[in-house]
Structure 1
Amino acid sequence: IASVHTDPMELIRRDDLAAIAIITPPGAHHRLSIAALDAGKHVLCEKPFAIDAKQAEEMRAAADKSGRTAMIAHEFRHTPQRAYIRQLLADGYIGKFQLCTMELFLDRYVSPEPRPLSWNAYKSEGGGLLGALGSHYIDALRFWFGEIASVSGWLAAFRPDVVDAATGKIVKAETDDTFSFTVTFKSAVTPARGARIAVMGDRGTLIADQPGPNPPENGIVVASRDGAPLQELKTPAQYTPFTDARDHRLMAFRLLVRDFTKGIEQGTSPPPNFTDGLRCQQVLDAVKESSASGLTVNL
């Protein structure tokens, strides 16, 4: 690490830096992204994108005004499993899309012991499981099927107790540890830890299993078409251009950074960009609104 700054604005004002990665808690994304763009920097912003859609709108407007490359770190678009599913859908493998289900199960909230207190416990900082992981699943849905027309959702906190390491006191988290939502698309279309995604059409089905909350580097796609038995599909090598033994998430992130670099060179903001961040934030807000009102929210 060549240098360390305690004031992020000092870093943003440096003339020798062309790009800034913002990996703070979401509560600071709006302020720092806009400051970096106004300073002429290219920006790669972590997810969840913002606290709400109003902030997200302002961030996208700042990106558009700046003319700089501005992207959001939804790197799991680049995992072989999700990229291959996108190709299969585009090729018409399942016929006309009818239904997609996503189920995610975590073991991090089942312990009777309180979790450590962190920014994730505070709404003002953008905490909660919906933003942390739900944002990635919303991005996958948009990546595969396009824009979302309406949302019905539900949020809960089954284990809200967190412990403050400084005082030893137990306090209540303000944010969710459980979420559920159902979406419709404008195109008119306590188990073990892991996730399953199933996409169904009038001719076939695609199933992608995950051992954890994030898609693995070597994830497979199981499929059935025209009534045939389920079988594993061989993922084309183009979706795994290299591997990274340090962490299974790094290949996808490095591919995202590759696109970010190309965007800087070409004067563009490749997807997932700040428009994608805004669209995802609008769905996150709609889930919260639906959970509070008990009504379906149209987008």
Structure 2
Amino acid sequence: MVGVNQKKIRVAMIGYQFMGKAHSHAYRDLPFYFDVPLKPELKVVVGRNEEGVKEAQEKMGFESYETDWRKVIERDDIDVVDIVTPNHTHAEIAIAAAEAGKHVITEKPLALTVEDAKRMHAAVEKNGVKHLTCYNYRYVPAVQFAKKLIMEGKIGKIYHFRANYLQDFIVDPNFPLVWRLKKDVSGSGALGDIGAHSIDLARFLVGEITEVTSMMQTFIKERPIGEMTSGLSAKGSATEKGEVTVDDAVAFLARFESGTFGTFEATRFATGNRNKNKFEINGEKGAIRWDMENMNNIEVYFHDDPEGLQGFRLINCTEEIHPYTGAYWPAGHIIGYEHTFIHLIDEFFRGIAGDKQTSPNFDDGVKNQIILDAVEKSANEKRWIEIK
């Protein structure tokens, strides 16, 4: 297993499309912005399509490429295995990597099922490797600052947490039947793809969820057979169609251990919303709002402001006092989506260097997976489900 005192950390990435691009960018830019104890060395990228993975290797800056992940897992010159493949492959790769003594990074949601998530968690714990589940929105500076305000008691006891994650990229009924729309590959639709982020933010900011009740709906039942191309784009057949087996939209209520009242919505049919990931938290002393489409800002309200001056104020979280921002530009010179992955990887590598498990980790991944499962079960059974 990797030694904690070495100056370089050697990375193998399994997969190379949307999230592969985000992760490889983070590895390349991390040492430029942060004084890191371990410098990433991009050893190998893996993909089934040789032409595609070779192009990715050259573009993303990896030393080599491979078409069989099993060969990579056994290599002596790999310290970290980063899994950015579809959800149904996470468990097998992550468990094999852990058993080979590699630290493991897995895109969210952690697995296809709760059972797989628990097996993954057991494997990394048994083998003493560090582990990361990529809930990157925790590491937006504004979200980190919101957490600080909450922990300092600035908004007092929290009454409400409400989250919406709204996209519209599959509104067109001719958008192809890609892996994200197949239950046996993705596990769920809007729920696991984007709702999982809202669940993780809720747990990070407010605490554990104890009970949920939900509804789910699929608007387009059949689509042309197709595949992802880049980002959230896809191409499909002109004639052949297949069944959509996941939700297009989900809404649920949640109760928290703290007594907080939670409301959640996730949909990929919110016309006009490209990536509207937002939350509002209402407490006895104030409130906090955040929206990913304006990710550098939070809005805060304090109940004890003088009468006539009360209202939400906008804070641009780019001052050096705000988390991570001192590594970048002068105040007001905003950062972007890609930097959330830099912060995520920075924390993880610091944890490896200091022999400390950081978060969000596989424990968070399992807990989020249990909530995803409960939300789906509630929709199917039309009742409240307790989170155990």
Tell me the TM-score normalised to structure 1 length.
0.91
**1:271 equivalent in alignment to 2:359:** yes
One-letter identity of the residue aligned with 2:359: P
The match for 1:87 among 135, 144, 148 is: 148
Higher Rg: 2
**1:44 equivalent in alignment to 2:105:** yes
Q: Is the 8 A contact 1:117 1:162 kept in 2?
A: yes
Paired with 1:188 and 1:10, the residues of 2 have a C-alpha distance of 49
The match for 1:230 among 312, 315, 331 is: 312
**1:289 equivalent in alignment to 2:353:** no
Aligned counterpart, 1:210? 292
Structure 2 alignment gaps of length 5 or more? 1-56, 58-62, 226-235, 261-269
**1:221 equivalent in alignment to 2:299:** yes
Q: Which runs of 4+ in 1 moved over 3 A?
A: 241-245
Aligned counterpart, 2:52? none
Q: In 2 relative to 1, CA 241–53 (structure 1 residues): closer, same or farther, beyond 3 Å? A: farther
Q: Is the 8 A contact 2:286 2:300 kept in 1?
A: no
1:187 positional shift? 2.0
Query: What are the equivalent positions in structure 2 for 1:19-98 lying under 5 Å apart?
Result: 19-98=80-159
Paired with 1:210 and 1:35, the residues of 2 have a C-alpha distance of 35
Tell me the TM-score normalised to structure 2 length.
0.71
The match for 1:120 among 172, 180, 196 is: 180
**1:161 equivalent in alignment to 2:243:** no
1:61 positional shift? 0.7
Q: Is the 8 A contact 1:49 1:72 kept in 2?
A: yes
**1:4 equivalent in alignment to 2:4:** no
CA RMSD of aligned residues (A): 2.0
Aligned counterpart, 1:172? 243
Ranked by relative contact order (alpha carbons within 8 Å, sequence separation 6 or more), the top structure is 1
The match for 2:200 among 139, 150, 153 is: 139
Q: Deviations over 1:166-196 (max 9, x none)?
A: 5631222111110111111112225641244
Identical amino acids, percent of aligned pairs: 29
Q: Is the 8 A contact 1:156 1:177 kept in 2?
A: yes
Aligned residues, how many? 293
Aligned counterpart, 1:253? 341
Paired with 1:10 and 1:81, the residues of 2 have a C-alpha distance of 41
Q: Is the 8 A contact 1:109 1:159 kept in 2?
A: no
Q: Is the 8 A contact 1:114 1:161 kept in 2?
A: no
